Chains A and B, each alone.
Chain A
Amino acid sequence: MSAVPLLKVNDVSKFYGSRIGCRNVSFELWPGEVLAIVGESGSGKTTLLSCLSTRLMPSSGIVEYHMRDGQYRDLARMSEAERRFLMRTDWGFVHQNPADGLRMTVSAGANVGERLMAVGDRHYGNIRATAADWLRRVEIEEDRIDDQPRSFSGGMRQRLQIARNLVTSPRLVFMDEPTGGLDVSVQARLLDLVRGLVHDLGLSAIIVTHDLAVARLLSHRMMVMKDGLVIEQGLTDRVLDDPREPYTQLLVSSILQV
């Protein structure tokens, strides 16, 4: 385990006018660690994710990222060019709706290859071979490489989105309800895939979900949010097996047992 955190979040708040998005959130994310942010709709988990991933500017607080050169950088103070470069190289963002993260009218191969071309890869054969390799890793038949995601099922689209994000070997991936709109059986396959990739690649990930089973399977650590505040956090096993806060107990007791 590396000795320094990848992401340092210090007292981050986001207000929408007088409404609270999230308030006074602080934590550190370590290399290889998967953090789940759980809570019901409107609890502020997506707002927090947006603040962390620079999609939203926090109203106050600091988010620092440990760059590959070993320096910590305050994300809010980076130039837009640097932020965007970070987002398409060292970071990934998996949207709940794959259509938000994919180019729907561009082939699967080009969807995966786009990040490579964005960082200057100019060899068609290599780009295509890498794309094919990634399609295989996310269990999409290689002969679909020239098909547009419009012709893919929901689960395939989501897997394609993951491949598109991971092709540049990012160190940190944000996921917003990655299994949100999928059938249960498709969910299981995706979860297993994400679990394997996170493990094999040593990724750090922050996963927003309202599904505690997803959190249990994927995350090491968990934060429970309610009304914009983190009300409980700790080892995922601990939070789920021994929830302390009233709201967490309600959440855990609401899971359907099969």
Chain B
Amino acid sequence: MTDLATYNFAYLDEQTKRMIRRAILKAISIPGYQVPFASREMPMPYGWGTGGVQVTAAILGPKDVLKVIDQGADDTTNAVSIRAFFQKVANVAVTTKTRDATIIQTRHRIPEETLTAGQTLVYQVPIPEPLRFLEPRETETRKMHALEEYGLMHVKLYEDIARNGHIATTYAYPVKVEGRYVMDPSPTPKFDNPKMHMSEALQLFGAGREKRIYAVPPHTDVVSLDFEDHPFEIQHFDKPCALCGAEHVYLDEVVLDDKGGRMFVCSDTDHCEDRREHGHAGHLLAQQEAAE
């Protein structure tokens, strides 16, 4: 606790946290709407999750249990750094177990295990505006949100089909929240989009550089945009996880050698470990054990 003397709890001062909480409350009240907030300088560069960190700092209490993942993994640089940061400035308990966490800060994934009531998922968002790449003017995109003019979003999907024969957007796939606002779900794979729909957990999104916070409250409609003749589909993998044998999960490709050897493993490391602890084994692990 001695380290804490130099910092306020969770790094940010109380006034800042109140300001961010007000933005969060507004975001929860208007699902999918991007609320501007006075994003602070954080002791890490933009792009490292400054938005997510500020949201987490504003909602974190001493009794919370924090999990931080980056691309589904608890042990990557970004995740380790942010977890260490909050251990130091808030002295909260941390975990890698999805079901034990009360707050999960994430970059680019939603855990495989279904989140439950009382849990909060905090997304790190690089570019919150889904219309940005087609309409560079912020004044115009705000107006389009205000007037519900979302034809442009379908123009993007149209272009995808025209070029690739199918909707080739695989991450940051736009969704419509509660039938009103079109929202960028941050660069999560579209595989995770259905998990946002009617989730029991609270989902908060923080964009530090762009100074925006938005939210999807529990039990909210989240619908991925599509065409009648090109309906939304998630990615499918032909093989199960090489380590735990899980099917219907999001897999990462791992290169094994320089001879073209590769394996597909769970991107959610906690999920994978949990399964292995419960005796599941994929073909690679089985081979290894057989060899030993």
Interface of B: prevailing SS: helix
- Per a CB cutoff under 8 Å, which of B143, B151, B162, B230 touches A117? B151
Flag whether B274 is at the interface (Cβ < 8 A): no
Chain B stretch 214-237: residues in CB contact (< 8 A) with chain A: 226-230
Binds B, one of A49-57, A120-128, A133-141, A153-161: A120-128
Stretch at the interface among A5-13, A15-23, A104-112: A104-112
- Chain A residues whose CB sits within 8 angstroms of the CB of B158 once the complex forms: 109-110, 113, 117, 124, 127-128
Which B residues lie within 8 Å of A115 (CB)? 151
Q: Are B154 and A117 in contact (CB under 8 A)?
A: yes
With contacts A113-B158, A123-B228 taken as known, whether A84 is within 8 angstroms of B147 at the C-beta atoms is yes
A103 within 8 A of B: yes
- Bound: A80/B144 CA distance, A: 11
Contact with A along B153-181 (1 / 0, CB 8 A): 01100110111000000000000000000
A79's closest neighbor in chain B, by CB? B147
Whether A176 sits at the interface, judged by CB under 8 Å, is: no
For residue B19, CB closer than 8 A to chain A, the reply is: no
Instruction: Say which residue of A113, A125, A128, A146 sits within 8 Å of B155 (CB atoms).
Output: A113
Given A109-B158, A124-B158, A118 and B151 touching (CB < 8 A)? yes
The one of B152, B154, B162, B226 in contact with A107, judged by C-beta atoms closer than 8 angstroms, is B162
Q: Which of B196-245 touch A at CB < 8 Å?
A: 226-230
- Contact with B162, one of A80, A81, A110 (Cβ below 8 angstroms): A110
Q: How far is the CB of B166 from chain A (nearest CB, A)?
A: 10
User: How distant is B204 from chain A, measured CB to nearest CB, in Å?
Assistant: 29
- Distance to closest chain B CB from A251 (angstroms): 38
Question: Smallest CB–CB gap between A123 and chain B, Å?
Answer: 5
B261 to chain A, nearest CB (A): 38
B162 touches A128 (CB 8 A): yes
For residue B149, CB closer than 8 A to chain A, the reply is yes
Q: How far is the CA of A118 from the CA of B135 in the complex (A)?
A: 14
Check B151–A123 contact: CB distance below 8 A. Answer: no
Q: Report yes or no: A114 in contact with B162, Cβ–Cβ below 8 A.
A: no
CB-CB under 8 A from B162, the residues of chain A are 107, 109-110, 128, 145-146
Chain B residues near A114: list those with CB within 8 A.
Answer: 151-152, 155
Is the interface on chain B under 10, 10 to 19, 20 to 34, or 35 or more residues?
10 to 19
Q: Nearest Cβ in chain A — how far from B135, in angstroms?
A: 9
B143, B149, B151, B230: the one contacting A124 at CB < 8 Å is: B230
A181 to B155, CA, bound (A): 28
- In the complex, chain A residues whose CB is within 8 Å of the CB of B143: 80
Specify the chain B residue showing the minimal Cβ separation from A83: B147
Q: Which residue of the partner chain, among A106, A119, A145, A146, contacts B134 with CB atoms under 8 Å?
A: A106
Is the Cβ of B151 less than 8 Å from the Cβ of A80? Answer: no
Q: Is the CB of A110 within 8 A of B155?
A: yes
Contact between chains at A124 and B155 (CB < 8 Å): no
How far apart sit A30 and B134, CA to CA, in the bound complex (Å)?
A: 37
Set A103, A107, A124: member contacting B229, Cβ < 8 A: A124
B200 to chain A, nearest CB (A): 30
If A146-B162, A146-B163 touch, whether A106 touches B228 (CB-CB below 8 Å) is no
CB of A123 within 8 A of CB of B227, answer yes
Set of chain B residues within 8 Å of A106, measured between Cβ atoms? 134, 155, 159
A3 CA / B134 CA spacing, docked (Å): 43
Give chain B nearest CB distance to A129 CB in angstroms. 11
Write the chain B residue with the least CB distance to A123: B228
Asked if B155 and A103 sit within 8 Å, CB to CB, the answer is: yes
Q: Which residue of B lies closest to A126 (CB)?
A: B229
B213 to chain A, nearest CB (A): 26
CB <8 Å contact, B134 and A103: yes
Cross-interface CB contact of A81 among B147, B159, B228, cutoff 8 Å: B147
User: Is A80 a contact of B154 with CB atoms below 8 Å?
Assistant: no
Is the beta-carbon distance between A122 and B163 smaller than 8 angstroms? no
**B61-107 contacts to A (CB < 8 Å):** none
Instruction: Tell whether, in the assembled complex, residue A118 and residue B159 are in contact, meaning their CB atoms are under 8 Å apart.
Output: no
Q: Are A118 and B227 also in contact (CB < 8 A) when A106-B159, A107-B162, A109-B162 are?
A: no
**Least Cβ–Cβ distance between B288 and chain A, in angstroms:** 47
Complex CA distance for A122 and B151, rounded to whole angstroms = 10
**B interface, CB within 8 angstroms of A:** 134, 143, 147, 149, 151-152, 154-155, 158-159, 161-163, 226-230
- 10 A-B pairs within 8 Å (CB atoms) are namely A103-B155, A106-B155, A113-B155, A114-B151, A117-B154, A117-B158, A118-B152, A123-B229, A124-B161, A128-B162
Taking A110-B155, A114-B151, A122-B227 as known contacts, 15 extra A-B pairs with beta carbons closer than 8 A to each other, sorted by chain A number, are A80-B143, A80-B147, A84-B149, A103-B155, A106-B155, A107-B162, A110-B158, A110-B159, A117-B152, A117-B155, A122-B154, A122-B228, A123-B227, A124-B228, A128-B162
